[in-house]
Structure 1
Amino acid sequence: MLKNIHGYFDFEWQFVTPPSRPPPQAKGFQTIERHVDETLQNESAITLNDRIKADIVVMCQERGLPAEGDKRTLIENLMEWQNSMPVPGPSTPKLYSLDPPAAVKKISTNTVSLNTLLMEANFQGEIKYEELQVGRKLGSGGFKDCYAGVYHGENVAIGELRVQNFTEQDVEDIKHEINVLKQLRHENIVRFVGVCTNIQHLCIVTELCDNGDLYDYMRKARKPSFAQMIMYMHDIAIACSYLHTRRPSIIHRDMKSMNILISSDHRAKINDFGLARIRARANASMHTQCGTPNWQAPEFWTSNPRYTEKVDVYACGLIFWEILSWAELGFPYHKLTEHQLYEAVRDREVRPPLEKLRKYPLSLLQLIQDMWKKDPKRRPSMSYVVDRLAEYLQ
């Protein structure tokens, strides 16, 4: 049912619920008047203030201290702990829509005719195929094959289009994606390099993100620090805010962990703008169904959907939940069929479980819950989300 980008492009994927991990052991405590905390003994209020808030939060959590409040309060709690709190003793073990899709009109086309259609869009950044060094295959699916490659000394991703049996909508989507990509310039959005309209090799060339997509990365990489998870979330939020605050604004409409790429320097970047739409006026609503149901906002699920950029806010809330759980809880609603998902999420307002994430600051979990509220008007803007996440990076 779901489509996985595998770094760049869609292919069919069968998900398996990740095995549960054994519960952590609880710490025993013995009380004495004073102790030395090896981590804190060389710290002062000044040196702690030089750290970002996310690190301070983790230090408080490790000592069983409150993780809520401003940075100054958290530092004061740590200093008090160093001077008077109990010392840890030895550890003691603690025991869909169900209707069939409408027939899609196919067009009989070949590379030459498709090439002509795309060239009519008057694209800038034409790349000669001979200038591309094509390397290993990264993934494939639908009508795209993606390869790692090199262009003028730069590592790039080369998405070569397979054009047999294209639909008219496929052609329009390709033209649209290129037109959106080429106008975006942000460090947290996958950078468009150019398009190759060689008669035999029609390619979209973008920057290469070595760690692939976030969905796969969470399943193969060790869980990062809380600070790093906040950085991923902040990257996603600031890129989404950039899209929404452009004039005219852009709604991605298919935000999900498969469409977030992770670069070699561990920056998160939004990818895949095939479904993105430009919102001409700030008070205008969109009306097209699209995207992957598990990350879709409830307002999509009507015969005549009306929605704003708040659909991206909803999806980002789910992505943030995935990041905090780091794939240990699967992906959103992974046990539900499409029909069950619609009924549970839209009609009963079911949301992903938060019980196992209670170790994180309550204010952060509340922000995520606000982002996935059913009423779009009650969801915060992505600019607000950026500001709240930035507090943990100061």
Structure 2
Amino acid sequence: MLEWVNSWQGLHELLITNSLYPKDSEWISEEFLDTTRRESTMTTATGALFGDVEISHSGLKTLVDLGRKEHWLIDVDHVELHATTILGAGGFGIVCEGTLCGATVAIKFPRKSTKNSTSQTPNTRDHVLIMNYLTELRLLRYVRHPNIVAFFGATVDVDNLEMILIFEKMEGSTLSKFIDESPAEVKRLHVLVDVAKALVYLHGLLPAVVHGDLKGENIFVDTTRERIVAKLGDFGLARRATSFARGMGGTVRWSAPEVLQGQLPPSTAADAYSFGQLAYFVVSGLIPLIELKRHEIASALAKGYVPNEKWPTNYFSNRIREISEACRKPDPSARLSMKEAWHQLGQVEDPAKPKGKIRSWLGGKNTRGEEMVHPFGIVPMPDLPPAPAGDDSDCLLNWSNSVGDCTL
């Protein structure tokens, strides 16, 4: 086992020393919802992980077997940590740069040692932190999309009860830092379209996956390409939209009113609300509900508080504002679905184009008769030549336009 696997506590202390995140009591009480009050719906802590897997030596051995079967388990000898290169620190994880078989990656540790969690009851904050970290692994095993930060796998140390998650390292910055640089409107639009595509994918899974923590710090923008690419990350608060799922958490200023009240199970409508908050941030550069203190937000929204938002006054802002407000209706059932929001974003005028020429991401043809590219890269199937004569029932047809030959 590599030396860095046993140095988790030292890494944690390094982050505290450098003030990369506040101490536990400050961080959780101020930034994140108290999910512990809803833990009573779980019979045991294992409900947050993989069936009957527990945070114990036997439980992690079962997890290792599952990782081998599903091909996401990574040999620790293939991983190297650059402990002095801290990429970020959030409510549930610490992210450092490292390498996987020589390729640069991002390596995520839980904020709390997995070993220490065995002594915690399911209703303590430390245990909830570990459960949310492991929930990320549970969901990322199946999630694959170009606008979601790629998950490469995990390393599990059974002897020391430790685990790390390994992701692609994004070239660029978080959305929060990107917006600070005052990007052009077309780039802001690209960010919203990309995030919407990721959510359409997640909400289209069966059962749907609710991200649960949309905000500027959890979206990463790759600025190295000709067309910027935004990717959704940090699935520590993600939930499957089922009636028996744990209650949702989130970050207060970005969360839907019903999430703040702890009234409903996970729903895609909560993500839609947070997307509306995100749209306001992307266009205005202002944090949602910044005029309120954190402890005032839940009660204010429950009483019908109308935020004091400062939208720019131009065509682009007006169109995004319409979508944002439709995503944030008080009644969850009245909000736009993310598919509807994505479609409406596709009809927003590209600010880089002359007025009157509308660019669509929905496929079909534009005003000049040119084929438009679908968001998922799907274009209409070209007309195929007729199949060759003869009995082809026993072969897979693969004929070309020029030759028309049938091959196996």
**Under a length normalisation based on structure 1, what TM-score does the superposition of the two structures give?**
0.65
* Alignment match of 1:129 (pick from 62, 66, 76): 76
- In the alignment, the residues of structure 2 paired with residue 98 and residue 211 of structure 1 have an alpha-carbon distance, to the nearest angstrom, of 29
* Alignment match of 1:243 (pick from 202, 216, 225): 202
1:287–1:304 contact (8 Å) kept in structure 2: no
Deviations 1:14-41 (A, max 9, x none): 9xxxxxxxxxxxxxxxxxxxxxxxxxxx
2:92–2:132 contact (8 Å) kept in structure 1: no
TM superposition shift of 1:181 = 0.7
User: Is 1:215 matched with 2:215?
Assistant: no
1:297-336 aligned within 5 A:
297-302=256-261, 304-306=263-265, 308-325=267-284, 327=285, 329=286, 331-336=287-292
- In the alignment, the residues of structure 2 paired with residue 255 and residue 295 of structure 1 have an alpha-carbon distance, to the nearest angstrom, of 7
RMSD of aligned Cα (Å): 3.4
TM superposition shift of 1:120 = 2.4
1:165-176 aligned within 5 A:
165-166=116-117, 167-176=126-135
TM superposition shift of 1:217 = 3.1
TM superposition shift of 1:234 = 0.2
Q: Which residue of 2 aligns with 1:33?
A: none
Name the SS of the counterpart of 2:148 in structure 1.
coil
1:115–1:202 contact (8 Å) kept in structure 2: no
- In the alignment, the residues of structure 1 paired with residue 266 and residue 132 of structure 2 have an alpha-carbon distance, to the nearest angstrom, of 20
- In the alignment, the residues of structure 2 paired with residue 100 and residue 379 of structure 1 have an alpha-carbon distance, to the nearest angstrom, of 24
User: Is 1:340 matched with 2:296?
Assistant: yes
| Compared CA separation, residues 277 and 100, structure 1 to 2 (3 A) | closer
**Residue type at the aligned position of 1:214:** L
TM superposition shift of 1:352 = 4.8
Deviations 1:262-308 (A, max 9, x none): 2343311111111111124xxx5966141111111111233543552
Deviations 1:64-108 (A, max 9, x none): xxxxxxxxxxxxxxxxxxxxxxxxxxxxxxxx9999987x99x9x
Name the SS of the counterpart of 2:172 in structure 1.
coil
Q: Percent same amino acid at aligned positions?
A: 24
Q: Which residue of 2 aligns with 1:149?
A: 98
Q: Which residue of 2 aligns with 1:275?
A: 237
User: Is 1:290 matched with 2:232?
Assistant: no
**Residue type at the aligned position of 1:215:** S
Name the SS of the counterpart of 1:206 in structure 2.
strand
1:128-207 aligned within 5 A:
128-135=75-82, 136-140=85-89, 144-161=93-110, 162-163=112-113, 165-166=116-117, 167-198=126-157, 199=159, 202-207=163-168
2:269–2:335 contact (8 Å) kept in structure 1: yes
| Compared CA separation, residues 339 and 192, structure 1 to 2 (3 A) | same
1:193–1:205 contact (8 Å) kept in structure 2: yes
User: Is 1:120 matched with 2:69?
Assistant: no
- In the alignment, the residues of structure 2 paired with residue 190 and residue 349 of structure 1 have an alpha-carbon distance, to the nearest angstrom, of 35
TM superposition shift of 1:142 = 5.4
- In the alignment, the residues of structure 2 paired with residue 338 and residue 298 of structure 1 have an alpha-carbon distance, to the nearest angstrom, of 13
**Under a length normalisation based on structure 2, what TM-score does the superposition of the two structures give?**
0.63
* Alignment match of 1:367 (pick from 323, 339, 343): 323
Aligned length: 292
Q: Which residue of 2 aligns with 1:3?
A: none
Tell me which of the two structures has the higher relative contact order, counting C-alpha pairs closer than 8 angstroms and 6 or more residues apart: 1
2:248–2:265 contact (8 Å) kept in structure 1: no
1:346–1:374 contact (8 Å) kept in structure 2: no
**Residue type at the aligned position of 2:256:** A
